Amino acid sequence: MNESQKTKRKFRSSKQWLNFKKTMWQKCNKIDGITLKPLRKGANLHHRNLNEDEYQNLKEEWFLPCNNLTHKMIHWLFGYYLKDPAIIDRLRAEMELMKEINEGGNNDKGKSKETKRSF
């Protein structure tokens, strides 16, 4: 663990952070800001500001309460989004296509609906 990680870990065990986290949980009614599902044990406060110099700056608008998997997904997707914002459009199209195939009634007896894809 490097010094930055040690500093962050120490801060996350401080009374200031724990009180802030409790306040944020109360304000969001313990609901994940993305999935709108209840926060689980081990849920995160996602730092929207990734500048390490601002890590201890507790501006409420810089945080999002979310479950662990949501938090991982946000950071994973953000890496791609920075290089290619259209990834969001492709993901939405994929979700819509999956929804149509699985809920559209056109996949009876295991036959999947034909799709228009470039690959």
| Joined tokens for residue 38 | 């209840």
Q: Distance of CA 17 to CAs 27, 42, 83, Å?
A: 15, 15, 32
DSSP H/E element including 45? strand 44-47
Closest CA to 67 of 95, 96, 92, 44: 44
Residue pair 63/24 in contact (Cβ under 8 Å)? The answer is yes
Q: Is the pLDDT of residue 110 over 90?
A: no
For the chain, the average pLDDT equals: 90
On whether the pTM is more than 0.95, the answer is no
Query: Sorting pLDDT into bands at 50, 70 and 90, what band is 1?
Result: confident
Domain ranges in the chain are 3-107
Q: Is the pLDDT of residue 115 over 70?
A: no
